[in-house]
Amino acid sequence: MSAPAFFEAPARAEAAEAVADAYRDAFGETPEGVWSAPGRVNLIGEHVDYTGGLCLPLALPHRTFVALSPRHDDVVRVRSAQEAGADWEGSLAEVGAGSPEGWAAYVAGVPWAMGHEHGFDAVVDGHVPLGSGLSSSAALECAVAIALADLAGLPTDDAGRAELAGACVQAENVVAGANTGGMDQAASLRCREGGAILLDTRDDSVTHLPLDLAGAGLALLVVDTRAAHSHSGGEYGARRADVERAARALGVPDLRAVDPADLDEALARLAGQPGAEVLTRRVRHAVTEIDRVARTAQLLRAGRVREVGALMDASHESLRHDYEVSARELDLVVDTARAAGALGARMTGGGFGGSAIALVERDATGEVAAAVRDAFARERLRAPQFLAALPSRGAGRDA
């Protein structure tokens, strides 16, 4: 059984040189600099960011690069290697809610949200799979944001990065019109090599945690199912409405406020509400998931990475049965990876498609990937794509 090919991240120097070359082809001069920002994968803590919860993402080695030079006027000119023939040029004055349309919103929305008056010329080259739940959108925004911050002499310490993440969220929510929380941008800007971040979505505070996968002889296998998340928009809104209604019924600001020790009592209080059976399951997911993130953080602090596998398994079951946001392809990855010896596996991201992750013995990575590939082939599903997630550095300058 030969292992499938992995989608590898290119070496930093080569990727930076390639995007600088593309800039020279586009604009006939050398760019002022090259910056990049990573995609991310969430280890645990799903669908709890809109109820005051915790999540635990890490930056992928896969990054989006941008070669950029500032301009003296308010014009933005940008092209992307991933959007051939869809170059965009416009003035910052025309950027706002829903404008521009298409991919350029993720670029032009950033100086708009940062309140910048001057434009720039830029070429983008991304190595994060687009639309796979690995946050190519945040990687793009954050690469532009770190470039603009660097050129403007803005602080790029953790507090400065938290500010930039807020601007990128604004760009995504308002200009691109995508309803997302702040995990992706926080991960892309604030992660550090060799670690994950514990993000508290109540106040956006971040705690850096060690995640030495290689030292533990482990690997984090990412499987991009390439299944479109067709129902994700409406279902996302419906889940949000469920947890907000449950919190109101329980008289708490958010479900983070429910102590896991008091869960049974809280669930009993939901009896008699319209749709109590569904609400009960939604609340059980949120409260137990937030608790699992806290327990994962404790394990990482103690260097007990292997034991995270069981919490990943429990997270997936909760998302599958109680929160009902999984998909056939995600369940197939999880079930197959576990049967092939993974220490734990779960869907990651919003669900209904996108990606799943498996914690595996490093030497067994190829074997687990092959088992997943074969299971997809047997079920006549589109071939998935495999990536290895070693915790990588956040956004920064490359050249």
Q: Hey, which residues are catalytic here? A: 184
Residue 22 CB, nearest approach to ligand ADP (Å): 12
Residue 106's H or E segment, with its range, is helix 105-114
Cβ distance to Mg ion smaller for residue 190 or 373: 190
Instruction: Give the one residue of 37, 44, 110, 140 binding ligand ADP; rule: CB under 6 A.
Output: 140
Dihedral (C-alpha) 285, 290, 293, 297: value to the nearest 10 degrees? Answer: -160
Q: How far is the CB of 316 from ligand ADP (least distance, A)?
A: 19
Q: Does 188 bind ligand ADP (CB under 6 A)?
A: no
Give the SS3 label for residue 88.
Answer: strand
Region 136-175 residues binding Mg ion, contact defined as CB under 5 A: 137
Site string for ligand ADP, 202-221 (x = CB under 6 A): --------------------
Q: What is the SS3 assignment for 315?
A: helix
Query: If contact means CB under 5 to 8 A according to the sort of partner, which of Mg ion, ligand ADP, none does residue 348 touch?
Result: none
Cβ distance to Mg ion smaller for residue 135 or 392? 135
The residue whose Cβ lies closest to ligand ADP is 126
Please, what is the minimum distance in Å from the beta carbon of residue 53 to ligand ADP? Answer: 20
CB closer to ligand ADP, 88 vs 376 = 88
Site string for ligand ADP, 90-109 (x = CB under 6 A): -------------x--x---
Radius of gyration of the chain (CA): 21
**126 binds, options Mg ion, ligand ADP, none, Cβ within 5 to 8 A by partner type:** ligand ADP
Cα 322 to Cα 232, 267, 284, 319: the distances in Å are 16, 13, 7, 6
Report the C-alpha gap between 33 and 261 in whole angstroms: 52
Residues with Cβ within 8 Å of residue 335, at least 6 apart in sequence: none
Stretch near Mg ion under the rule CB under 5 A, chosen from 6-14, 129-137, 198-206, 236-244: 129-137
Find the binder of ligand ADP among 130, 162, 174, 252 (CB under 6 A). 130
If binding is defined by CB under 5 A, does position 188 make contact with Mg ion?
no
Cβ contacts of 157-164, under 8 Å, gap ≥ 24: 158/190, 158/206, 161/189, 161/190, 161/394, 161/395, 162/186, 162/189, 162/190, 162/204, 162/206, 164/114, 164/189
Residue 33 is a binding residue for ligand ADP (CB under 6 A): no
Phi, psi of 46 (to 5 degrees): -105, 140
CB of 150 to ligand ADP, least distance (A): 19
Please tell me the distance from the alpha carbon of residue 358 to that of residue 331, in angstroms, as a whole number.
Answer: 12
Q: Which stretch binds Mg ion (CB under 5 A): 127-135, 221-229, 279-287, 376-384?
A: 127-135
Q: How far apart are CA 318 and CA 285, in angstroms?
A: 6
Amino acid at 20: A
Q: How many angstroms separate the CA atoms of 128 and 389, rounded? A: 12
In the complex, minimum distance from the CB of residue 76 to ligand ADP, in angstroms, rounded to a whole number: 14
Q: Which residues bind ligand ADP (CB under 6 A)?
A: 64, 80, 82-83, 103, 106, 124, 126, 130-137, 140, 178
